[in-house]
Structures are given as structure tokens and as C-alpha cells.
């Protein structure tokens, strides 16, 4: 629970439900669009950002609700027995810079640690690189993006 401007704000992180797949997929695309990507780029991202109902449990999907409304989510995908990828972390664009991203990242890291992973990796959008650096993730290298000619930062966090 957080307080802001004499108004009590309640944030709850919980496992996502299968029937929320379309809702969080739409949220991810709105959040990505915040960075003024072209329609062609967003079309490529749409495939990558679509969460299917059957992905919800496999990807350890969690949502954050503010006052009962889903305003963000993350997914974790196992890479090996020791490594997990923070595959998605998105916040509703109107809620950016409200602390929700930091809250979700901390939850995802703790969840991964409790699941006995020792390393968290993040293929970050270039616009989010400063966010992950500020949270203690280390830039490992740049990797090829799904957008031709574009490189994205790969971060890791020792858990």
C-alpha cells in the first residue's frame, strides 16, 4: 500500500488469470506505442506482445492493480534451470513514472529468486534501458532486435 497527495492508493500484485490475456496484450501494445514507434514497427511488436491464455501460467504472469484496475504486468520465461527472462514488463502509459514499474520489477526479481533462479535477464527496449540500469541490472551487450537494423540492450541481474 502506498500513499500519495493525502489520497490512499492501493497497489496489489497477483497472478494473472487466463481470461486477462487479451487485456494485458492490449496494455502492452499501448505501452509500447507510447514511444512513438511507426505503425510497421508496432505491427511487428504486436505479435511479440500478444499473451495467449495458455501462456499465463507458463510465463508466471503477474498483474498489478491500482484500486482494482489492472495497470501493469510482467512475465517470466525459464531459459535454463538457473536463468529466467523478464520477458515483458509493461505499465499503462498514463501510469508511467508512478513507481509501478519499480514495484513490478522488485516483485519479479523476488519471485524468480524464490523459484531458485540465480540470474534474471532482460532484453530491454532501448527506451527502458535507463530504468533497468537504475534498478541495478547490468548491461551485458547489445543484441539484434526483431526490427531489422536495430539493436537492443541485454541486461542481467544476479539474484
Tell me the C-alpha to C-alpha distance, in Å, between residue 51 and each of 25, 74, 83, 100.
5, 11, 21, 20
The CATH number of the domain holding residue 141 is 3.40.630.30
- Measure the CA–CA gap between 108 and 60, rounded to whole angstroms: 9
Cβ-based neighbours of 87, under 8 Å, separated by 6 or more? 59, 75, 76, 77, 123
How many DSSP H helices and E strands does the chain contain?
5, 9
Whole-prediction pTM: 0.90
Q: What is the mean pLDDT of each run of 10 residues along the chain (159 residues)?
A: 55 97 96 88 88 96 95 98 98 90 97 98 95 97 90 97
pLDDT at residue 7, rounded to an integer: 63
pLDDT at residue 3, rounded to an integer: 39
The total domain count for the chain is 1
DSSP annotation of 1: -
The answer to whether the CB of 25 falls within 8 A of the CB of 50 is yes
Structural domain for 142, as ranges: 2-158
CB atoms within 10 A of CB 9: 13
Which three cell numbers mark 136?
541495478
Q: Which of 94, 91, 86 is nearest to 72 (CA)?
A: 91
SS3 156: strand
Amino acid at each position: 500500500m502506498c500513499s500519495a497527495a493525502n489520497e490512499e492508493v492501493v497497489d496489489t500484485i497477483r497472478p494473472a488469470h487466463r481470461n486477462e490475456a487479451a487485456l494485458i496484450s492490449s496494455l502492452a501494445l499501448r505501452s509500447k506505442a507510447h514511444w512513438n514507434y511507426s505503425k510497421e514497427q508496432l505491427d511487428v511488436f504486436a505479435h511479440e506482445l500478444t499473451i495467449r491464455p495458455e501462456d499465463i501460467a507458463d510465463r508466471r504472469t503477474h498483474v498489478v492493480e491500482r484500486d482494482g484496475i489492472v495497470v501493469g504486468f510482467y512475465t517470466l520465461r525459464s531459459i535454463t534451470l538457473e536463468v529466467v527472462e523478464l520477458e515483458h514488463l509493461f505499465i499503462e502509459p498514463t501510469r508511467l513514472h508512478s513507481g509501478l514499474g519499480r514495484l513490478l520489477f522488485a516483485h519479479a526479481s523476488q519471485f524468480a529468486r524464490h523459484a531458485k533462479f540465480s540470474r534474471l535477464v532482460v532484453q530491454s527496449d532501448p527506451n527502458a534501458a535507463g530504468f533497468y540500469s537504475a534498478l541495478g541490472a547490468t548491461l551485458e551487450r547489445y543484441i539484434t532486435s526483431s526490427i531489422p537494423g536495430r539493436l537492443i540492450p541485454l541486461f542481467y541481474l544476479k539474484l
